[in-house]
Amino acid sequence: MNQKNHPIRLDDLAEALHVSKVTISKALRDHPDISIATTQRVKELAEKMGYMPNIMARTLSAHKSRTIGLVIPEIAHIFFASIIDSIYDAAFENNYEIILTVSQEQDEREKKHILSLLSMRVDGLIVSVTQQTNDLAIFEKVNELGVPLLFIDRTPKMPNISSITVNDMEGAFNAIEYGIKKGYTRIAHCGGYRNLNIGRDRYEGFMKAMNKHSIPVNDNWVIEGGLREEDGYNAFMKMYKNDKNNLPEYILAISYPVALGIYTAALEVGINIPSDIEITCFGLNTFNKYAPSIFNFVNQPTKELGKKAFDFMIQQIDGTGPFLPKNIVLDTELIINHYIVQKSD
């Protein structure tokens, strides 16, 4: 037996031990049916022969894959990368496998990926939708099939689906209010596209703070755009070209890359960050812990989000969680850069 190029099967172990393959199967899974002695022997042999269960076969017959599908718009983005990291962490600890797919912000891909994941019979689906996702039919299909579904961060309007999001509105509000209290009145918002909840909510938080303190909003300083460095660059240049003698003194940027792009553009035209313009951006406070940065941060709890997402999904799968859809909202934290405070106070 034990042919080369032919993975060991239950049958091989059964034959070697002169028992049936059912005994082997049960022993390997610590089924109470089997005596401790037998279980022991089976496990030892399995180890020795390098047995690897065939997940395909197991899934086919057990209707459980211990696999969770993940659909993310983009991976080369620290925010998502960090969330993914923590989901993987949690999955690893719980002996689950994650199948990650990347939609590249294209709803067509998103749909195809979801179909693939369903085809692979994942036990559950965690999705962060693309910027263009409008057609919710596919999610309804997931729902109908009884596959647990959870939206994270970006969530379309769907009543019966659970979600875990970040309180972007409050994050933006706090960031702006901080600036106002510091005495700034010329305030800009380089935000995301508003067809998505994160862009919308942050814009709303911005407006709310401005209105609350009766600070006039300069429409030229409210810019809709993407999340990349080049978007920040373009946003600043737009403001600069519009009126180079009237620039904001405080900017809320949608992401760290956008803040960097703003910085680069400012440098190019001879404006200094942070002494001429103070910037707060949404992002992760990793570096900031060790050293001052030139920006303030609206810290997003990505690790917590990932962990919560996984735990919630497991509860859904195991049926131990509540049946009612739940919408969890995580708080952000405003991290002020003391270097900036010293310089500009």
Q: Which of 23, 82, 133, 332 binds its own copies (CB under 8 A)?
A: 82
Distances, alpha carbon 172 to alpha carbons 93, 204, 326, 335, in Å: 34, 8, 24, 12
Q: Which of 34, 71, 84, 314 binds its own copies (CB under 8 A)?
A: 84
The tokens for 244 are 């180079």
Residue range at the interface with DNA (CB under 7 A); choices 60-68, 123-131, 198-206, 235-243 = 60-68
The C-alpha atoms of residue 200 and residue 95 are separated, in whole angstroms, by 37
- Sketch the per residue contact string, 243 through 262, with DNA: x for CB under 7 A, - otherwise: --------------------
CB of 66 to DNA, least distance (A): 10
Task: For residue 120, state whether it binds its own copies (rule: CB under 8 A).
Answer: yes
CB of 84 to its own copies, least distance (A): 6
| Nearest C-alpha neighbor of 185 from the set 239, 247, 232 | 247
Our CB check for its own copies shows the closer of 199 and 261 to be 261
What sign results for the dihedral spanned by CA atoms 60, 63, 68, 71? positive
The C-alpha atoms of residue 158 and residue 164 are separated, in whole angstroms, by 13
Tally of CB atoms within 10 A around 111 = 19
Tally of CB atoms within 10 A around 297 = 26
What sign results for the dihedral spanned by CA atoms 140, 143, 145, 151? positive
Task: For residue 98, state whether it binds its own copies (rule: CB under 8 A).
Answer: yes
Element (H, E) at 235: helix 229-242
Q: Which of 3, 5, 61, 245 binds DNA (CB under 7 A)?
A: 61
| Angle in degrees, CA 73, 78, 80, rounded to 5 | 35
Q: Helix 137-144 vs helix 107-119: angle between axes, to the nearest 10 degrees?
A: 10
Q: Which of 19, 99, 207, 330 binds DNA (CB under 7 A)?
A: 19
Looking at residues 145 to 184 of the shown chain, list those that interact with its own copies (rule: CB under 8 A).
Answer: 145-146
Task: For residue 60, state whether it binds DNA (rule: CB under 7 A).
Answer: yes
Task: For residue 107, state whether it binds its own copies (rule: CB under 8 A).
Answer: no
- Interacting residue ranges for its own copies, rule: CB under 8 A: 4-5, 7, 50, 52-57, 59-60, 65, 74-78, 81-82, 84-85, 88-89, 92, 97-102, 104, 109, 112, 115-116, 118-121, 141, 144-146, 228-230, 233-234, 257, 260-261, 264-265, 267-268, 286-287, 289-294, 339
- Interacting residue ranges for DNA, rule: CB under 7 A: 6-7, 9-11, 18-23, 25-26, 28-29, 32-36, 38, 53-54, 57-58, 60-62
